[in-house]
Each structure stands twice: as C-alpha cells, then as structure tokens.
Copies of this chain bind each other. A is one copy, B any other.
C-alpha cells in the first residue's frame, strides 16, 4: 500500500517512472546490463542525456531561443556559487525571500557587491516583497521563485533589462509562464524532476563569458556547454530518472496540463485551511501562497497529537513543518495525485468532528 507522500524533497515521483527506473537498474534498454554499469559515452546513455536536455527546453518553450540545458551536479547549493563565478563582475541584485535566497546571497558576496533589493525577513518570510525596483547598473538580478520552507511563491516577476536569474528548484515545470524572461534558470532535480543528485541549468549563451576572472573548468557553464553536459561523468541515474519524469509530463500534456491539476490540489487544500477553524495558514498574503508547499498550523496545539495520529493512520507521509516555521507543510509536487490531497482534507475535517 503506497503512502500519500507530502515530503518536501526528495519527494514523490510518478509511480510509472519509479517502475521503469527500477527495471533499468537490472536491465537497461534490453542490453542485459544495468543502466549504471554502462559507459556514459555509450550511445544508449548519450541518448538519455540528449533527450533530457531537449525535453527540458521543449517543456519550458525555450527551444531555438539561444538557451542551452545542462544536467550538472551539486544541487542549487553549487549554483549559488556558479552563478556568481560566471556572472558577477561588480555588483548584483538579490531578492531575499528566505533561506535559499539567503544562502545564494552569502556565496555571491565572495565575488562582488551585493544589493538586497527587498527582504521579507521582518515577518519570518511569510510574504513576498512587492514594492521594490531592480537597479539598472547591476550584472544580474537573482530571485527564488518558490520558497519550500516558508511556503511562499512569486507570482509577479518584475520586468527588467538586466540579466535575470531564477532559482526554480521547488516549482520548475509546475506552472506556465513566459520562461524566456529569464536568462538563467536552475533547479535541483529532487522536487518536480527526479531524484537528488542532478541539477538542471538552463542558460542563455549570450550572457556568458563577460566576467574577467578565470573560472575553474567544473564551475564554468561554457565548459559544460562545450561538452554537451558531459565534461565529466554525469550522475547517470538521476539524469535518467529526470528524463523519464519529463517524458511523463510531456505525455500528460506538458506544463499547462499539470498546472490545472496543481491548481485543483492547491485550491482543495487551502480552502480547507481557510474554512476549518482548527487550522491557520502561515503565509499572510493569500496571493503569495505556494501551490507547491502549503504551510499551516493548528490554531490550538492541544489537538496536535490527535491530528498527528489521524494523518499517520491515513497513510500520509512527510507532513511535519520545517523547524524554522513549525506546524505542518504539505508539499504538493507534480507527481502527487489529487486523491492524496483529498485524503489530507478528509483527515482535517475528521479532526474538526473529533475536536
């Protein structure tokens, strides 16, 4: 009996993808060899890498627009550093929406002057700052589209003429927008794309090569582009599973199709949070609520034991909130079925009856 998996990441993946991945560990492409036992230079794996790269661009609507897709290692944490290494000559502007933005700022500070254009630190990041402007003399502007920990999501991205960089680790491929407004997008795989261990980087080639410092090979996007994302041995299994997940998404009808389901899931859960007197959402401004990670608390902590028992009995996993927020966090990534959200909502209603 499979769990209802609300884990914040690594998180739920489509069951059909897991099935294929499990089989490929024993026999890949009928080669009588495991996926993880073959050369990454073999045609079978090069096809996987190329397929994953082109599916990423296709799903985001970024083919033939000067972008390259890379599957690197090191997660968003290494990108915090690589973005600055590759783009920061003098100064850069960052929007501070919490933990991940903070970490990105910390690493970039080693390479130049940092301007924090706005921050929601004053209220423990429970909203997305709105009234700010992006200086025109910065090398780039950096933002985090979704904050996994606090459950906020940017819904309006400021227009700007400067290079625009976005960490989309926790909501990439979940909602439609004009992705061509960004010059560099990066995302750790372990939410909507695949298992931990690979990072998708989508970069417009024309923004590279403009800093004066020498960049070590492994940190240089141009080196990875020049080698078709195979400068060194890639994380074979995470890239393969990412490719399977992207194929699954394409088969469903792409981002616009999954967005409809994601909206249904979010509406179902947030409606219950707002209706049920025992619960309260963490994010103050409803328009800033993340459709990926819903954060909420009990209005009366004396019900916590009962609630915890109820959701565990219902086969729910991963509902505990992050330590910096407390309460509960329901992560509703692409692969989470609507039925799982219904199970959670039923449990919330049941608590109300019992209370």
Contact = CB atoms under 8 A, between A and B. Distances in A.
Contacts of A194: 36
A110 B214 contact: yes
Contacts of A39: 7-10, 318
A217 B77 contact: yes
A26 to B, nearest CB: 5
Nearest to A77: B232
Contacts of A33: 2-3, 5, 317
Contacts of A7: 37-39
A274 interface: no
Contact of A13 (B32, B34, B219, B232): B34
A330 interface: no
Number of contact residues on A: which range applies? Answer: 35 or more
Interface in A148-197: 188, 190, 194-197
A34 B237 CA distance: 14
Contacts of A19: 26
A67 B109 CA distance: 31
A3 B32 contact: yes
A235 B36 contact: no
B32 A1 contact: yes
Secondary structure of the A side of the interface?
A: loop
Contact of A73 (B103, B231, B235): B235
A21 B32 CA distance: 16
Contact of A197 (B11, B32, B76, B198): B198
A238 B10 contact: no
A315 B31 CA distance: 11
Contact of A196 (B21, B31, B216, B233): B233
Contact of A218 (B74, B231, B234): B74
B81 A216 contact: yes
B13 A195 contact: no
Interface in A302-343: 315, 317-318
Given A74-B74, A81-B217, 7 more contacts: A2-B32, A22-B26, A73-B74, A74-B78, A197-B198, A197-B236, A237-B237
16 contacts: A2-B33, A5-B33, A5-B37, A7-B38, A9-B233, A21-B25, A32-B315, A36-B194, A73-B74, A74-B74, A74-B218, A75-B233, A77-B218, A81-B218, A107-B216, A235-B235
